[in-house]
Amino acid sequence: MASLLVRNGRVLDPAQELDGISDVLLEDGRVSRIARGLQAPGSTVLDASGLIVAPGLIDIHVHLREPGREDEETIQSGSEAAAVGGFTSICCMPNTDPVNDNPAVTSFILKEAERGALTRVFPIGAISVGSAGERLAEIGEMVNAGAIGISDDGKGVMDGQLMRRAMEYSLPFKIPLIEHCEDLNLSARGCMNEGYHSTVLGLKGMSRTAEDAMAARDIMLAELTGAHIHIAHLSTRGAADLVRQGKKKGIHVTCEVCPHHFTLSDAACRHYDTNTKMSPPLRTEDDIEALREAIVDGTVDCIVTDHAPHNPNEKMLEFDRAPFGIIGLETALGLVLTHLYHPGLISLRRVVELMSTQPAQLINQPLGHLKAGTAADLTLFDPDAEWVYDLGQTKSKSRNSPFHGTALKGRVAATIVAGKIVYQSPEYFKE
């Protein structure tokens, strides 16, 4: 009977209104007790003095590339990077090769995860067959096999009628429809945000309206159908306003934002570094401000990474030819703490809500809290530790991050999944 005693940390569990120094006893992969001065003879002890002990972080938007592009990432390597970043659960997008648009792929992912992943892995199925936007994928079969949501992420569902059908059809399964909002005609094969910088750089721009227009359509369809629409990687002021209004009207709309979208603007593209190319693209300073406002006022439900590994050779292509996306699992918490918590925009409690409590609710999983009897997924972090991100140390198989060499304040000390330590920082724990 394996047990682990996490001692003397500041236990922060918004779901139970817990915030104070306490011990947490984990037994048989579950949370057993939270109290001060716990004694548990025979159990491993982890001294968490000076650290925050939170329910494990959950990233509901990552790309693990397996099956199909195991050179870029595998379920195992992606989960290792996740563990380093403090994530205990990750949800993988279906745009693999083959696309996760049927229960066989869903099951394959779960089996592979069981075999080698350090974290929990929840597959997201495709909305349409091959994510081609033409016919509905076997949504029910995938849910039955373990999918927790559906998405054609990577591109928007251009056919409004198909989107309406998908929403209606998925109602009985009580899963979120996660939409990559981008009207592909309006984004016009652009490769960065349309604005002053795209004009100066001579690069084709993707207008913010391309995101806003589809977000507006999807929120209206959610109102019509009663489905749960979740706006993926929201990046514009316009889309944030739409979500805010939708929530006010009682529409079941939620949204997520990525750390790069509230920390970097399109000015970062000026050296044609393809590690500043992602979709949606880096937007303007005004959008950054709007995203921060939306995080503060509760419009934003969760922070995700949109971790998108790419082969270095492909990222070495010309800016307009290089693939979209950056890796982000290892930098997410550091960026959130550095840019949102330390400047005083949000509290640590809110950080935990955005990265654990609320994403768990969004995917309808009994995670994101430390109530007795729940899965013993914990993240221990030091909100004040200063460090520099080094891509040379990454556990991901890819290297496409714009944050190499970036100084961050706040880092993960240990990650515990089902009562087992899957990552511990040598800075905090010797052994």
Partner 1 sequence: MSPEAIAPESGASTPPTSRGGPVSFNAKHLLGIEPLSVDQIQLILETAKSLREISTRPIKKVPTLRGKTVINLFFEASTRTRTSFEIAAKRLSADAINISTSSSSIVKGETLVDTARNLEAMAPDVIVIRHSSAGAPHQLAGTCSACIVNAGDGAHEHPTQALLDALTILDHKPTLKGLRVAIIGDIAHSRVARSNCLLLGKMGARVTVCGPPTLLPVGFDRIGSADGSLAVTDRMDDALEGADVVMMLRIQMERQREAFFPSVREYFRYYGLTARRMRSAKPDAIIMHPGPINRGVEIASEVADGPYSVILGQVASGVAIRMAVLYLVIGGREHPSRALEG
Catalytic sites, residue numbers: 306
Take residue 290 and report the two structure tokens written for it: 């709007």
Cβ distance to partner 1 smaller for residue 10 or 69: 69
User: Cβ(89)–Cβ(32) under 8 Å?
Assistant: no
310-369 residues in contact with partner 1 (CB under 8 A) are 313, 316-321
Q: How far is C-alpha 81 from the chain's CA centre? A: 13
- Indicate which single residue of 23, 72, 183, 194 sits in contact with partner 1 (rule: CB under 8 A): 194
Residue 274 Cβ vs partner 1, minimum distance, rounded to whole Å? 8
Cβ distance to partner 1 smaller for residue 183 or 306: 183
Helix (H, G, I), strand (E, B) or coil at 297: coil
Q: How many of the chain's residues bind partner 1 (CB under 8 A)?
A: 21
Residue 318 Cβ vs partner 1, minimum distance, rounded to whole Å? 3
User: Cβ(184)–Cβ(153) under 8 Å?
Assistant: no
205 binds partner 1 (CB under 8 A): yes
In total, the chain counts a number of residues equal to: 431
Contacts with 147 (C-beta within 8 Å, 6 or more apart), sequence order? 100, 106, 122, 123, 124, 125, 139, 175
Nearest partner of 332 among 406, 280, 272, judged by Cα = 406
The secondary structure of 173-200 as a DSSP string is: GT--EEE----HHHHTT-SEESSHHHHH
55-114 residues in contact with partner 1 (CB under 8 A) are none
- Indicate which single residue of 25, 143, 203, 375 sits in contact with partner 1 (rule: CB under 8 A): 203
- Indicate which single residue of 56, 156, 195, 419 sits in contact with partner 1 (rule: CB under 8 A): 195
147-186 residues in contact with partner 1 (CB under 8 A) are none
- The two most distant CA atoms of the chain are separated, in Å, by 66
Nearest partner of 88 among 346, 370, 409, 426, judged by Cα = 370
Cβ distance to partner 1 smaller for residue 195 or 368: 195
Which residue's entry shows tokens 């959610």? 222
For the chain, first and last CA: distance in Å? 22
Task: Kindly report the backbone phi and psi dihedral angles of residue 388, in degrees, each rounded to the nearest multiple of 5, phi listed first.
Answer: -125, 130
The secondary structure of 222-233 as a DSSP string is: HHHH---EEETT
- The Cα 409–Cα 406 span in angstroms is 10
Residue 215 Cβ vs partner 1, minimum distance, rounded to whole Å? 20
Stretch that binds partner 1, among 159-167, 202-210, 372-380, 404-412 (CB under 8 A): 202-210
Residue 226 Cβ vs partner 1, minimum distance, rounded to whole Å? 38
Residue 321 Cβ vs partner 1, minimum distance, rounded to whole Å? 6
Which residue's entry shows tokens 């809110």? 350
Cβ distance to partner 1 smaller for residue 266 or 382: 266
Cβ distance to partner 1 smaller for residue 183 or 218: 183
- The Cα 379–Cα 58 span in angstroms is 10
Contacts with 308 (C-beta within 8 Å, 6 or more apart), sequence order? 63, 278, 324, 325, 326, 327, 328, 400
- Which residues lie across from 379 on neighbouring strands? 54, 415
Cβ distance to partner 1 smaller for residue 318 or 431: 318
What's the angle, vertex CA 126, arms to CA 325 and CA 320, rounded to 5? 25
Residue 15 Cβ vs partner 1, minimum distance, rounded to whole Å? 45
Residue 358 Cβ vs partner 1, minimum distance, rounded to whole Å? 35
Print the binding letters for residues 247-286 with partner 1: x by CB under 8 A, - otherwise. ------------------------xx--------------
- Indicate which single residue of 198, 235, 276, 415 sits in contact with partner 1 (rule: CB under 8 A): 198
Cβ distance to partner 1 smaller for residue 328 or 402: 402
Q: Which residues bind partner 1 (CB under 8 A)?
A: 194-205, 271-272, 313, 316-321
